[in-house]
Structure 1
Amino acid sequence: MGPQNQTSASEFILLGLSEKPEHEPVLFSLFLCMYVVTVVGNLLIILAISTDSHLHTPMYFFLANLSLVDFCLATNTVPKMLVNIQTRSKSISYPCCLTQMYFFHFFGIMDSVLIAVMAYDRFVAICHPLHYSTIMSPRLCGLLVGGPWVYSCFISLTHILLMARLVFCGNNELPHYFCDLTPLLRLSCTDTTVNKIFVLIVAGMVIATPFVCILASYARIIVAIMKVPSVGGRKKAFSTCSSHLSVVVLFYGTTIGVYLCPSSVRTAVKEKASAVMYTAVTPMLNPFIYSLRNRDLKGALQKLINRKISASS
């Protein structure tokens, strides 16, 4: 069939996490609980940091932005899946699909870059403590956060423009619970070479490069910590990094498997499992990871909750 006779699909069918109807009530309850915890946890982190003047430091400024991005990333994918399960309607229009894909990449790139920025912040704090306030100035912090927002917008928009040129003339069933790039490319009946090359380039820029920078930062951090003479000092330095390292393992462990592993070892099930990790599980766990291991943040959260309880009573 020639290109002139091809008509692109006007909608896609999101097959979801499971094609068995008996699994849907369990999935709905599970992901609804996860989403509620994600929303409450991340919004509490943002409120605690914004209302406590003791937390107006670069580290908590980056954490507040990470919580905002995690909240938006989960909101972009999970509610649509919940609505599809509840209404038993799995269709999504082509424009809505592209919109969801845009914001998924936008917030996903922001997540990756912010985690790398937080690693740099820990590197400066531990390796150059005397110059920390000078290096991590408000201007630099603004650039380290504002720059990724502009960068993410440009990359995500390029993805969508490249996707808009493709034609989908055959099967419109997407074996996923949201409009992700890789499964969509498999459905296209036109040449996707340019798209795949751009995916690899972007994956290198927003996944591999930040990950290498994080490894380099922590290599320097470990060397600096091992030079600390007291055991208590080393333990305190390690504790300030452990929360961030947990997030690094959760996020990059799944995204690298999806976007940088050869397509021959990827399956639809593995892609969906990885997507659940970085769109639902990681945004849900981040508030717990940071708050449970951070005395200042726990104190701010306790004060915020006590203030709300006093106001309501």
Structure 2
Amino acid sequence: MNLFNSALGRNITLMHPKYFIISGFIGIPHIKYYYVCLFFSYVVTVLGNTIVMALIILDHNLRTPKYVVVFNLALVDVLGSSSVVPKLLDIILFNHRNIAFNDCMTLLFFCYTCFSMQTLNLAALAYDRLVAIIFPLHYVVQVTHRFMLSLIAFSWLFTVTIILTAVGLLTRLSFCNSVVINSYYCDHGQIYQLACNDNSPSVVITFLFVLLYIWLPFVFIVFSYLYIGYALSKVATAVERVKALKTCSGHLSLVGIYFIPALVLSTFGGKMHPNARIINLSLNAIFPAMLNPIIYVLQTQEIKESLKKLFKNRIQPTIKVRKV
């Protein structure tokens, strides 16, 4: 924080509230049913993604560069959901809408870091599919464990730096009016709009965040698949094209459920009714993370084979013991 102090001057007096008030889902009809759905989704998210991570660790056949990224995606899904849902359930069940300033900044950091890593992981998986389908002979050389681990490590470092900068800029704002955050969590945009001093640096970093973590990964993924489709149309038969695209079905499904709501919110969020925006934000934060393991289990042959092998190894010793 010393960097921000020196940049903005040492004599500035900042007014930080002791706490913010998260308005949550006030005024939304039949919201109690949504709470049950939210809790169920969180349980499925944690269990499903934990199973996917366990399979990747236990099955040597899944220790490939592609599944290094899948493991990281499952990890950030669990971390992201765990940073949002427990506080949200605390608000809902016990009406604890107050959150201390520092706790709010911490919650914001984890939420935005995990969301950012989700989109970067999907872009990395698009690169994996691009090389595997278009340049299969170069795949083993270009897409290695070292390359994927380096890519993930750089993504974490870059993302943490960006989000820490965003949080640091928020700490340089004064809040002398309202402390009510019109969202279900510590929403970056809603917080800096409450400031009574210049919030233009936070506006700029919001623009950069949307560009770097929503539009650029999405454009890269779209162009990757357009190139894959164009290349396959030139050299492959219809059966080969279907077979190649079938290996991408799980990833394409994830791209849709992660990016479409994010693109709608980033483009039209300001024009939505506050309650509609809150519902859409919460759905975007919870349901993609829940559907990720389901999609990979149902649409990825390697995962299905690994599950069958795991259950087979568990059931056979039990049967032998009963026979004895």
> Same fold judged by TM-score > 0.5?
yes
**Is 2:68–2:145's contact at 8 Å kept on the other side of the alignment?**
no
Q: Deviations over 1:243-268 (max 9, x none)?
A: 11111121111222333x26652442
Partner of 1:15: 23
**Is 2:22–2:99's contact at 8 Å kept on the other side of the alignment?**
yes
Q: Distance in 2 between matches of 1:24 and 1:61?
A: 38
Counterpart residue identity of residue 132, structure 2: A
State the structure with more CA Rg: 2
**Is 2:19–2:179's contact at 8 Å kept on the other side of the alignment?**
yes
Q: Distance in 2 between matches of 1:9 and 1:277?
A: 29
Distance 1:75 1:307, change over 3 A: farther
TM-score when scaled to structure 2?
A: 0.88
Distance 1:87 1:264, change over 3 A: closer
Q: Distance in 2 between matches of 1:68 and 1:96?
A: 22
Q: Distance in 2 between matches of 1:58 and 1:82?
A: 36
The answer on 1:175 being equivalent to 2:182 is yes
Q: What percentage of aligned pairs have identical amino acids?
A: 30
Map 1:127-276 onto structure 2 (within 5 A).
127-259=134-266, 261=267, 264-276=270-282
Aligned length: 309
Distance 1:220 1:93, change over 3 A: same
Partner of 2:304: 298
Partner of 2:292: 286
Post-superposition offset of 1:286: 0.8
Post-superposition offset of 1:23: 4.0
Equivalent position SS for 1:187 = coil
The answer on 1:34 being equivalent to 2:41 is yes
Equivalent position SS for 1:12 = strand
Q: Distance in 1 between matches of 2:220 and 2:128?
A: 12
Distance 1:311 1:193, change over 3 A: farther
Post-superposition offset of 1:4: 8.1
- Could you tell which deviates more after superposition, 213-222 or 271-280? 271-280
TM-score when scaled to structure 1?
A: 0.91
**Is 1:9–1:94's contact at 8 Å kept on the other side of the alignment?**
yes
Q: Deviations over 1:97-137 (max 9, x none)?
A: 10000111111111111111110110000000011001102
Counterpart residue identity of residue 112, structure 1: T
Post-superposition offset of 1:143: 1.3
Q: Distance in 2 between matches of 1:289 and 1:140?
A: 26
Picking from 41, 49, 55, the partner of 2:56 is: 49
Post-superposition offset of 1:5: 8.7
Aligned-residue CA RMSD (Å): 2.3
Show structure 2 runs of 5+ residues with no match: 1-10
Show structure 1 runs of 5+ residues with no match: none
Post-superposition offset of 1:272: 1.6
Q: Distance in 2 between matches of 1:7 and 1:205?
A: 31
Q: Deviations over 1:73-105 (max 9, x none)?
A: 111101111122121221111111100001111
